[in-house]
Amino acid sequence: MAIDKKHYTGAESEGGITSSYATDDGVKLKVPYSFMGSIYDEAERNAALAAMAQDSLTMGPKTQEFQKKFAAKHGVKYAYACTNCTTGMHVITQLFDIRPGDEVIVTPNTFVATSLVILKEGGIPVFADIDPKTFNIDPVDVERKITAKTKAIYVVHYAGLMVDMDPIMEIAKKHGLKVLEDCAHATGSSYKGRMAGSIGDAGAFSFHSLKNITTCGEGGMITTNNDEYSNGIQNLRCMSNQPQSWNDQLADINNPEWHFGKIVCKKTDPIEYWLPAHFDVIPWNGHWGSNYRMNEIQAAVGCAQLDKLDMLVAKRREIAHKISAGLQDVKGVETPYEPADRYHSFHLYTLCVNEKELGGSRDEFLRVLYQEEGVQGILHYQPTFHFTGLKRMGYDPDQCPLASEFFYKRELNLPMHPRLTEQNIEDMINGVRNAAAKIRKRHNKA
């Protein structure tokens, strides 16, 4: 197949495929794939303007409010805002004390960030295959991959459908492993009545522009119920600052003086607001922190978005269920599976093609859907071990055959966001039906 370099350019953004799916190939689209996954109105605009009028523009009162509201909404003791889901997962990887040579079991069906944070600390991602119905990591294969070097399991709630967490947590308990929930797709999702990010040892959320709620295009949240991790998160997301170090020294009744660098003060001396120093810097369990703080404008918008979360997810679910209902009788096309014990937030609407029943390939179907029906589908995710950087590390390209078949042969994602109109929904249903019919006719399938 000839490759047209103009098919995707990313000319209007530096983020490439992480910022836009715009093309300049001349195709007239009825339903393009949008990079705005939420709804903004006066609430977000007013919140941003009010935050701009504050004296503090980072890690101030709106950040505190956003964190408290998010923790309450997701049923966790602690929530800490950060720059994005990747940096949130990096903090958690440091909390778990992942070191060079430690193995972490992870799904290959995810954005590269889930493995990247392991690699950054010198850990070794070990890939477990997916469940072909849910597209999530398979707990059975997770247990097969555990060795003496395994230290943690990183699960991803793909498309907004939560992983089957009970067996994952049982495996973790049995083998003494930590569990990270990558909740980038799952703000508002639940499993057996428990919210995403509340079941594992820690969770990380994304507020990228594509996600169910977004804080001005980027942003993230770390969740945990662990008191020790709460302290660690505050250290690692803010350059290993320890603002309580002087209080610790004050509490030492056997020491009549403060000692910090060259500063020595008697405890009987008056306390001035500039003395003895603003903070101390101490690494967390040998790990140095970074600047992963959220600013106040993002947090203010996040508060407004969180107020809309139930509505936004309800709209996604309504749209998804309409599409599924309209495609039930289309031979060779499979709609998303929803287990009864899970609340799917439909960050993605993943349609699967059964090539044997359809009579043509997934790529042929996607091409007809796009070029002839004007519906822009996209693909998520190429197995992580197929990226050049990991291939150079010697990863077996044939591991996890179900994940490979899913990406290369089965899946595509239809446009999904809460602003889709009834006409958009009708165009997608008709587009899928027409594309399937055209391929069956071309291949003489009944």
Within-domain flag for 420: yes
How do residues 397-438 score in pLDDT, each as one tens digit?
999 999 999 999 999 999 999 999 999 999 999 999 999 999
In whole angstroms, give the CA distance from residue 25 to residue 8: 8
CB 126 within 8 A of CB 106: yes
225 plus 79 within the same structural domain: yes
In whole angstroms, give the CA distance from residue 18 to residue 112: 12
pLDDT of residue 269: 66
133 plus 191 within the same structural domain: yes
Q: For residue 315, is pLDDT > 50? A: yes
With helix as H, strand as E and coil as C, how does 308-367 read? Answer: HHHHHHHHHHHHHHHHHHHCCCCCCEECCCCCCCEECCCCCEEEEECHHHHCCCHHHHHH
* Beta-carbon contacts of residue 431 (< 8 Å; ≥ 6 apart): 30, 31, 369, 373, 374, 375
Q: For residue 266, is pLDDT > 90? A: no
Residue 186 pLDDT level (bands cut at 50, 70, 90): very high
Q: For residue 261, is pLDDT > 90? A: no
CB 52 within 8 A of CB 301: no
Residue 212: which of 187, 183, 194, 182 has the closest Cα?
187
46 plus 181 within the same structural domain: yes
109 plus 184 within the same structural domain: yes
220 plus 256 within the same structural domain: no
Sign of the CA dihedral running 29, 35, 36, 38? positive
Match 């998010």 to its residue by tokens: 70
How do residues 45-71 score in pLDDT, each as one tens digit?
999 999 999 999 999 999 999 999 999
205 plus 252 within the same structural domain: no
How do residues 91-132 score in pLDDT, each as one tens digit?
999 999 999 999 999 999 999 999 999 999 999 999 999 999
Within-domain flag for 3: no
Within-domain flag for 8: no
272 plus 295 within the same structural domain: no
pLDDT of residue 47: 98
132 plus 232 within the same structural domain: yes
Total number of residues shown for the chain = 446
How do residues 8-17 score in pLDDT, each as one tens digit?
455 456 766 6
Residue 352: which of 127, 31, 106, 109 has the closest Cα?
109
Q: For residue 5, is pLDDT > 50? A: no
User: Considering the chain, what percentage of its residues have pLDDT values greater than 90?
Assistant: 83
CATH number at residue 351: 3.90.1150.10
Q: For residue 244, is pLDDT > 70? A: no
Within-domain flag for 370: yes
* Beta-carbon contacts of residue 178 (< 8 Å; ≥ 6 apart): 96, 151, 152, 153, 172, 200, 201
291 plus 269 within the same structural domain: no
209 plus 316 within the same structural domain: no
Mean pLDDT value of segment 15-29 = 80
pLDDT of residue 270: 65
The one-letter code for the residue type at 80 is Y
In whole angstroms, give the CA distance from residue 71 to residue 343: 18
Domain membership of residue 398 as a residue range: 16-35+309-442
pLDDT of residue 243: 58
Give the C-alpha distances (Å, rounded to integers) separating 320 from 336, 367, 415. Answer: 9, 22, 10
Within-domain flag for 123: yes
pLDDT of residue 20: 76
> Per the confidence metrics, is the pTM higher than 0.85?
yes
124 plus 221 within the same structural domain: yes
pLDDT of residue 153: 99
In whole angstroms, give the CA distance from residue 397 to residue 108: 11
Mean pLDDT value of segment 196-204 = 98
Q: What H or E segment, with its residue span, contains residue 441?
A: helix 422-442
201 plus 342 within the same structural domain: no
Q: How many domains does the chain have?
A: 3
In whole angstroms, give the CA distance from residue 224 to residue 78: 5
Within-domain flag for 413: yes
Within-domain flag for 292: yes
pLDDT of residue 24: 83
Q: Is 310 exposed, middle or buried (0-12, 13-18, 19+ CB in 10 A)?
A: exposed
CATH number at residue 71: 3.40.640.10
In whole angstroms, give the CA distance from residue 125 to residue 131: 19
Residue 267 pLDDT level (bands cut at 50, 70, 90): low
Within-domain flag for 209: yes
